[in-house]
Amino acid sequence: MCYGDDARPPQPPNPGPVGEHGDLVLRSSDGTEFGAYFAHPEQPTGRGIVIFPDVRGLHVFYKELAHSFASAGLSAVAFDFFGRTAGVGERGEDFAYREHVDKLEFASVKEDAKVAAAWLREHGTESLFTVGFCFGGAMSFRQAAAGDDLSGSIGFYAIPSRVQDVADEIASPLLILAAGQDFTPVAEVEQFADRVRGHGVDVRMAVYPDAGHSFFDRNFGQHQGDVEDTWRQMLSFIDDKAA
C-alpha cells in the first residue's frame, strides 16, 4: 500500500478556505453503492478533480487530500473502489484490502469514476481533472481513455503495465509524477509517456530522482522540496488545461 494511517497529504501553496465537505454514498450504473468524500472550496472556481486512492481504497489520507485540493480552489471527490465486495464502510488500517483488490475489475473502477465525475459536474464543475496514486495513478490514466471529456489526468507512481491495453485510446492530457527510487523503472514510465505522445496527446512528466514510493507525504521532511514541486506541477497543469 502507499499510505498508512499516519500519513498526511501535504498542503498546497497559499491554501484558501474550504467550504462544504463530507461523506457521500454514490450509486454506480449497475446499482452498486460505494463510498466517497467531497470537499468544495469556499469560493467555487468551476474546476473539479476526481481522486483515485491507492489499493487501500478511501482511507483518511484521501479524505484529507480532498480538503487539500479544495483549499487549492478545486471541488474534489475521492471515491472508494470496493463497494461491490466490501460494501460502504471505513477503510482503516485493519481493512483486508488485498482480497478485494484481487476481485477488482478495471471496468467497475471506470464506471464508478464516471459517477464521481458526474456528481462534480452536477455541482458546478466545468473543467474536470483526475488524480491517482500507485494503483489509483494507473486508474487515473485509464480514465483519460474513458471518454469523459477530461481536461487532464494526473498520476503519482503509476505502473504503466496497468494502462497498456488502453494507452492508444488516451485522449486527454497527462501529467506523470514519478519517483526515481520507486520499484517501477523510470525508463518504463518514459516509454509509456512517449507512446501516448505518439498519438498527439500532451504528456508532461516530472521525475524526482532521490524520492521513493509514497514521497508525497508531509511527514517526509527530506522530500519537502519535491513535494512542493509536485504541487507546482499539478497547479500549473490545471491552470494550463482548464477550459
Q: Where are the beta strands (DSSP E) in 117-235?
A: 127-133, 152-156, 174-179, 203-208
Tell me if the pTM is above 0.95.
yes
Helix axes 106-122, 135-143, angle to 10 degrees: 70
Task: Give the whole-angstrom CA distance, residue 111 versus residue 237.
Answer: 25
21-25, 30-34, 94-98, 128-132, range with the lowest pLDDT: 94-98
Structural domains in the chain plus CATH codes? 15-125 (3.40.50.1820), 129-243 (3.40.50.1820)
Strand-pair partners of 22? 38
- Region at 214 (left for phi over 0; alpha for psi -120 to 50; beta for the rest): left
Task: Give the whole-angstrom CA distance, residue 88 versus residue 207.
Answer: 36
Task: Give the whole-angstrom CA distance, residue 190 versus residue 176.
Answer: 9
Task: Give the tens place of pLDDT for each residue, 152-208.
Answer: 999 999 999 999 999 999 999 999 999 999 999 999 999 999 999 999 999 999 999
CA distances from 42 to 67, 73, 130, 226, 243 (A): 11, 8, 21, 28, 21
* Residue 103 CA, distance from chain mean position: 21
Kindly state the cell numbers that stand for 29: 450504473
